[in-house]
């Protein structure tokens, strides 16, 4: 399982004209649901996003609100009869723009923008790391000693974030997404500072690892290149249909569609094996070549399946490999 921390400058991108779009946030939620990812946060991060929200929205929304659709026509074209149609279309466009501005104004004031809803959902599903007195003391000491990550001046923000991450229970497969230069190595672009890497291993063990990414898109390209939101939606729907399949023909049809996908998340694998045990219209034909082949393909992730299902699955699939459910 991967562990992830998103800096405030990344979360605030969703209120800007940024390179990451809201689909990236939805990918995170999908991966959290399917046990592929743990998201970490703290109270300071929540405050930073809430503080920055208004300024970021003002910047992008004011630019959009001030737009007017108009054209300047040279004198030699001012008598063209086609201009009347153009002016009517521009008038309609400006009216539509006014409607959108009114809708967005209401959503901004009520905190119901898509970005608001998704970011709130991210925080609600994250593991909160406490910012206690001990963390505050360590962050202040880090600043006094001029140790990274820190900015010039009195800001404790980055130091607090780092100290809360050092306090996390697990330090393996950890990923930090931030554009903040305070975390980045000057020698090897795209990696975390060597000082912080040593910090991390001192806190979590010599085999612990922390990886740095400058955007969510970069993180997904590196770690989940096979994840496409549309595919995840379709797979979820197909697994739900398989769960309620009422006959063998339907089961074969759904399995045929599922076989086109090469990647399944941890949560999807568990649900697929559970369906095999709990729906007789799937389990009774588990040894049919298409079903058996599909489920055997999932062997590398079969260790995720709860122990109480193993005996039933061995019988249904007629599994000969005694190590089928072993993690290695």
- Terminal alpha carbon distance of the chain: 15
Assign 328 a pLDDT band (cuts: 50, 70, 90). Answer: low
- In sequence order, which ranges of 205-247 are alpha helices (DSSP H)? 216-223, 229-243
CA distance 69 to 248: 58
Backbone angles phi, psi at 22, to 5 degrees: -65, -20
Among 63-67, 151-155, 202-206, 228-232, the minimum mean pLDDT is found in 151-155
Cis ω before 246 (30° cut-off from 0): no
The residue whose two tokens read 């202040």 is 140
| 255, 289 contact by CB (below 8 A) | no
User: Quick one: pLDDT at residue 213?
Assistant: 93
CA angle 22, 263, 21 (to 5 degrees): 10
What integer pLDDT is reported at residue 141 of this predicted model? Answer: 92
Q: Could you count the other beta carbons within 10 Å of the beta carbon of residue 30?
A: 21
Confidence check: pLDDT of 19 > 70: no
Q: How is 16-32 classified by DSSP, letter by letter?
A: TT-SS-HHHHHHHHHHH
d(CA 326, CA 30): 26
Rounded to whole angstroms, the Cα distance separating 290 from 251 reads 10
Laid out side by side, the sheet with 2-6 consists of: 127-128, 37-41, 2-6, 174-177, 210-213
How far apart CA 231 and CA 258 sit, in angstroms, is: 10
Is the dihedral angle over the CA atoms 147, 148, 154, 156 positive or is it negative?
negative
pLDDT in tens, 308-319: 999 999 999 999
- pLDDT given for residue 226 in this prediction: 77
Both tokens of 53, joined, read 């929200």
* Residues 86-121: tens digit of each pLDDT: 999 999 999 999 999 999 999 999 999 988 998 999
SS3 276: helix
Q: Which of 13-22, 64-73, 108-117, 222-231 is predicted with the least confidence, judged by mean pLDDT? A: 13-22
Query: Is the pLDDT confidence value at 47 over 60?
Result: yes
State how far the Cα of 57 lies from the Cα of 14, in Å rounded to an integer. Answer: 9
Counting every residue written for the chain, the total comes to 328
Query: Other CB atoms closer than 10 Å to residue 4's CB: what's the count?
Result: 23
What percentage of the chain's residues is helix, strand, coil (to nearest 5)? 60, 5, 35
> Residue 38 CB: number of other CB atoms within 10 A?
19
Q: Where are the domains of the chain?
A: 2-61+120-223, 229-317
Determine whether 291 is exposed, middle or buried from the number of CB atoms within 10 Å of its CB (0-12, 13-18, 19+): buried
d(C-alpha 67, C-alpha 295), whole Å: 55
Judged by average pLDDT, the poorest of 23-27, 147-151, 237-241 is 23-27
pLDDT tens digits for range 165-199: 999 999 999 999 998 888 999 898 889 999 999 99
By C-alpha distance, which of 267, 243, 266, 265 is closest to 255?
Answer: 243
Average predicted confidence (pLDDT) for the chain = 90
Residue that is written with structure tokens 């549309």 in the block:
230
| pLDDT band, residue 153 (cuts 50/70/90) | low
Q: Which fold has domain 2-61+120-223?
A: Rossmann fold (3.40.50)
Q: State mean pLDDT over 64-84.
A: 87
Percentage of the chain lying above the pLDDT 70 cut = 96
């Amino acid at each position: 399982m991967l562990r992830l921390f998103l800096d405030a400058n990344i979360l605030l991108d969703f209120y800007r004209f940024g390179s990451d779009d809201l689909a990236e946030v939805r990918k995170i939620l999908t991966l959290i649901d399917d046990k592929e990812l743990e998201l970490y946060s703290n109270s300071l991060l929540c405050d930073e996003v809430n503080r920055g929200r208004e300024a970021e929205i003002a910047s992008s929304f004011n630019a959009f609100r001030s737009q007017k659709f108009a054209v300047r026509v040279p004198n030699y074209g001012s008598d063209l009869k086609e201009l009347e149609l153009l002016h009517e279309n521009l008038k309609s466009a400006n009216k539509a723009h006014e409607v959108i501005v009114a809708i967005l104004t209401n959503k901004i004031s009520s905190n119901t923008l898509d970005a608001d809803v998704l970011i709130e959902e991210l925080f609600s599903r994250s593991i909160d790391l406490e910012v206690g007195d001990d963390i505050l003391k360590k962050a202040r000491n880090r600043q006094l000693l001029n140790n990274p990550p820190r900015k010039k001046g009195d800001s404790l923000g980055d130091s607090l974030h780092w100290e809360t991450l050092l306090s996390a229970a697990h330090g393996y497969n950890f990923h930090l997404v931030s554009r903040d230069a305070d975390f980045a190595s000057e020698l090897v672009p795209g990696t975390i500072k060597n000082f912080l890497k040593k910090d991390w291993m001192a806190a979590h063990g010599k085999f612990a690892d922390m990886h740095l990414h400058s955007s969510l898109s970069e993180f997904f390209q590196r770690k989940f290149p096979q994840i496409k939101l549309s595919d995840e939606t379709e797979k979820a729907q197909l697994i739900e249909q398989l769960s309620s399949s009422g006959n063998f023909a339907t089961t074969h049809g759904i399995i045929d569609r599922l076989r086109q996908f090469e990647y399944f998340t941890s949560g999807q694998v568990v649900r697929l094996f559970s369906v095999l045990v709990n729906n007789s219209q799937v389990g009774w034909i588990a040894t049919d070549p298409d079903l058996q082949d599909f489920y055997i393909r999932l062997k590398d992730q079969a260790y995720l399946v709860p122990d109480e299902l193993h005996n039933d699955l061995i019988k249904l699939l007629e599994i000969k490999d005694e190590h089928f459910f072993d993690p290695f």
